Structure 1
């Protein structure tokens, strides 16, 4: 009987695991292999060059800039996004004041409307969001500088994407704006599953809203927060940062490589410069950074599971 059960499990998993190995694992293996060659990506002919690409990468100033920018994306964007989403979710679900004749625990007025507003950016593709903000950041006719002029701050007219000191922060703000709504809905669903009796008991014991959030809501949502942190970090290291930087910035990646991130640098080396082998080398470094980030978050975020 047991033999038949294991045979069924193996048979059930064989096809999905085979597809995963073919379309996910094998490309990674190929990338690592090509990183030891001089392949251009255009010609089928290439030679093994050993660690020459890795030595070149370690001496590449632009690579180190892109690595630094990617690490900023991975560290700051998830913290700001998840922190803001937790605050908004808490206010929507349990942060409101008690109204006459209403429940003791409730969200702020209009919480259902706020959920729709916060989730709206998820309806738009990241490419459309990037284009909209590229127009908004325009120093002459953009909405942001026009608003500053309208409120009497005409002397404060940043170049935004044209300023090497501001461009990276402006790009990160777009990613936060476009993704925070998803986590608001995700955390709201988690908070809605927490029994209201726990909040009422905490309030009766004299706990205020801040104490309730840190001692009750956050511990019970920690597994969701940790998963969201890893997911957001991977997005910031990969597709989200590439799309926003590629569409919004000059170069792209400018000015003066001030917004170049690793995934964009991989794209430029592979498809603009015809250096596919070197691009895969940077891709291997990006893979290691992503794995290290996920492992670090899982390690630091490990705590005893709470149940209710």
Structure 2
């Protein structure tokens, strides 16, 4: 009698692989989902973000005037010209000053205000913020809903040396040295006055951002810290900041990008760049070079330099956050 040999069973790996492939068969729903939510956004990003940047880099290697179809390839001559231009280097220095000072002041002040309106209330009972904290949130957020150009115009009138509100208040309090004092016309005060305006306009938004992040921390953690005898300052350093570290990183990057631009605020307060170009930033110089002087090739080189500085700044923030253990703390 001939023995019947049972068929050899297929390896388990092949069976599971076949089953996985059957589950991933491309259907109309899957294809339409990928097209709508993946292909179209990627194409839009390439078309409206990547491609203009490539174009700008190409134009930066030419002498294009912006208003003629013809242009001559000049290589890196525009970049050599930029780094030998004292006015542009002054603008770079002012932009770097803003990117160092503005995020620190805004983020620290926003953190303090957010802590006060969320966990800065009484030291007994449930963890809560100051009394009527919702009113403080609305009041502090109000400047952010005003357009930046309007804020610049308003504060330009406040700083007016002859009829400005600030000089009127100071002279009324007996400080006669501030009569007809030009806050935006003095080299030693122009940048400080401008930084104050930008912080005033943005601190409310970042405060609300941090309030939402702090609200996501379980109240039991703050109550445990209170039982252990931790004060408000120690609680902020050891609990609040580590647990919302990613939010702080995001806010810092956004503030740094705004500081590197700051075109609207600077143009509204000091259209000409301030006394001795003390408030001139790269975006202002780029606009003047392109639309006043008609040197679009050189202006594109300025834009490329600005974009590279922005990317370097963001990269430094990410690297510092990773080296200091930010990702690990959040993951834990």
TMscore range, shorter length? over 0.9
Whole-Å Cα distance in 2 between the matches of residues 54 and 22 of structure 1?
Answer: 26
Give the structure 2 partner of residue 2 of structure 1. 24
Partners of 1:98 and 1:106 within 8 A in 2: no
Unaligned runs of 5+ in 1: none
Alpha-carbon shift at residue 156 of structure 1 (Å):
3.4
Alpha-carbon shift at residue 51 of structure 1 (Å):
1.1
Q: Helix, strand or coil for the counterpart of 1:106?
A: coil
| Equivalent of residue 110 in structure 2, options 54, 79, 85 | 85
The reply to whether residue 243 of structure 1 matches residue 264 of structure 2 is yes
Whole-Å Cα distance in 2 between the matches of residues 250 and 146 of structure 1?
Answer: 24
The reply to whether residue 151 of structure 1 matches residue 176 of structure 2 is no
Whole-Å Cα distance in 2 between the matches of residues 295 and 75 of structure 1?
Answer: 15
Aligned length: 302
Whole-Å Cα distance in 1 between the matches of residues 33 and 141 of structure 2?
Answer: 39
Q: Helix, strand or coil for the counterpart of 2:276?
A: coil
Alpha-carbon shift at residue 170 of structure 1 (Å):
1.1
Whole-Å Cα distance in 1 between the matches of residues 64 and 271 of structure 2?
Answer: 28
Whole-Å Cα distance in 1 between the matches of residues 25 and 155 of structure 2?
Answer: 59
Moved over 3 A (4+): 5-10
Q: List per-residue Cα deviations over 1:88-140 (Å, max 9, x = no partner).
A: 000011112247xxx33221122111001100001210011000000001112
Alpha-carbon shift at residue 4 of structure 1 (Å):
2.2
Structure 1 pair 146–24 and aligned structure 2 pair: CA distance change class (3 A): same
Give the structure 2 partner of residue 297 of structure 1. 317
Give the structure 1 partner of residue 6 of structure 2. none
The reply to whether residue 123 of structure 1 matches residue 145 of structure 2 is yes
Unaligned runs of 5+ in 2: 1-22
Partners of 1:74 and 1:237 within 8 A in 2: yes
Whole-Å Cα distance in 1 between the matches of residues 213 and 142 of structure 2?
Answer: 20
Give the structure 2 partner of residue 170 of structure 1. 193
Alpha-carbon shift at residue 307 of structure 1 (Å):
5.8
Partners of 1:220 and 1:307 within 8 A in 2: no
Give the structure 2 partner of residue 254 of structure 1. 274
Give the structure 1 partner of residue 40 of structure 2. 15
Alpha-carbon shift at residue 11 of structure 1 (Å):
2.6
Alpha-carbon shift at residue 155 of structure 1 (Å):
1.8
